[in-house]
Chains A and B, each alone.
Chain A
Amino acid sequence: MNVLEVGGMSSAQFSSLAIVTAAVLFLLAFLAHTVEWASLRAVPVRAGGGAASVDDGHDGARLRSDMFARLGLFATLIAAAAQLAGVVFRGIAAQRAPWGNMYEFVTSAMLFAVLAYLVWALRGRMRWLGIFITALIAVGDGLAATVFYVSVGPLVPALHSVWFLIHILAALISGAALNVGGLASIGYLLRARAERKGTVDRGYVARLPRSEVIDTFAYRLHAFAFPVWTFTVAAGAIWAEYAWGRFWGWDPKETWALITWVIYAGYLHARATAGWRGRNAAIIALVGVGSFWFNFIGINLFVTGLHSYAGV
């Protein structure tokens, strides 16, 4: 069954080990980012940010913060490599796309999320997302490795379809984007609150871009994710027509996919009206992420329906 052997391990074992390694590394990266943020407590932003500023006694803290920021990014890079190895070797072990159950879906979605983050971070933008991204993935991988884990197995016939690949790939991409968008919305709320209270000149909020920049960033993510999510639901409906002979049957999973879709449609509409941008839009985005996660975890584990074929 296993085509490849790595260091005396089957590819399935290697994959599991890689995911656990990635989870630990993401946790370490998260801790590094926590230190980075904590170091900045009570450290004022350098006026003008210029080279000619005087030493105000906080340079040590700034250096420490910068070092831990780089450490966090470095750990994230290695963790992402481990995550990639975990997903790829899972696919090799199963001899199919590794998206057949909750474990495989989470690990793949986390891979997409971290890759997107790294592209931004290495281009020098949105590094502030690091603490949120690493926390999300550490939790996601941790859940995957403990609660969702199932051994490698083939798929039930209902999943033998090209629409399976299309549907799940779209779900992974939009899921990753919606999650990062949700994280950005949290960042927005933190920054916007500090701006209202006039405390943006010190501490970690000073590290965050201005709230309008985060708002725009979050909007772009959602604007990208929404058509992909629409396509996910549509591809799922087409697949359901092939597999179950109806394109829409109000299965709990379908219902919650639609609820999630409607919430994000509300987000885009709300944002288009002047009064609802910013804080309200961010809150809607977080409700949307909540709906997405409930659809993924709650519906699979607690509600019986057609999508509960694979257990976890």
Chain B
Amino acid sequence: MENIIEIRGLKKHFGQLEVLNDIRFSVAPGEVICLIGASGSGKSTLLRCVNLLETPDAGEILVHGQNILQGRMDVNRYRTKVGMVFQSFNLFGNMDVLRNCMVGQTHVLKRSKEEARQKALFFLEKVGMRDFLGASPAQLSGGQKQRVAIARALCMDPEVLLFDEPTSALDPEMVGGVLEVMKGLAREGLTMIVVTHEMGFARDVSTRVVFMDKGVIAEEGTPQDIFQNPQNPRTREFLSRYIQA
């Protein structure tokens, strides 16, 4: 199948620090890709480059064959196709749960209020937050906020959904609920790229695991390849910490 996103020769540095070095990476429809690796290995930066929250220094990002880094590309249009779920939820503090899920639909996609509302209700139901429509983000727990944030992203009908350590800021007992929602989405065939430290999720849910080390992709393969038979010594070293734990 044709790739949705294809990344070639991607480079990014912050000051002197090389964060991404010559990344080659592609995403096919229906894939659930987990990016794993130590902190500072460039996972989050790679993810943020995919929807241009970070501007790469060099390289190409081809979306359906078109390079989005070249010329006058409509970045906002593109971003509606690539949803993002953040570690710190980032719900809009001045809006209740329902409006958080509607505002992008009505103001960016120009959907009618009624259509936006129906869509929001559908996805809020799906993430188990239908009973909280009038709640403000400040009234919700971390896990609830993250589920609303997932619904907000889904309401835009993205082709790919990016998750940047979606459970890292959660209390342990909240993690399960969010991971359940993500597993459900994966089962339905949503294309996802997930930066995560949840090795159980990577092993059980992903179709491909990408191990990053010092700004390069050190190894990638099926979860079986990576978890049972890692080739790269750095992968082995990284994973051994999780297996012991």
Binding between chains A and B: no
Residues of A within 8 A of B (CB): none
Residues of B within 8 A of A (CB): none
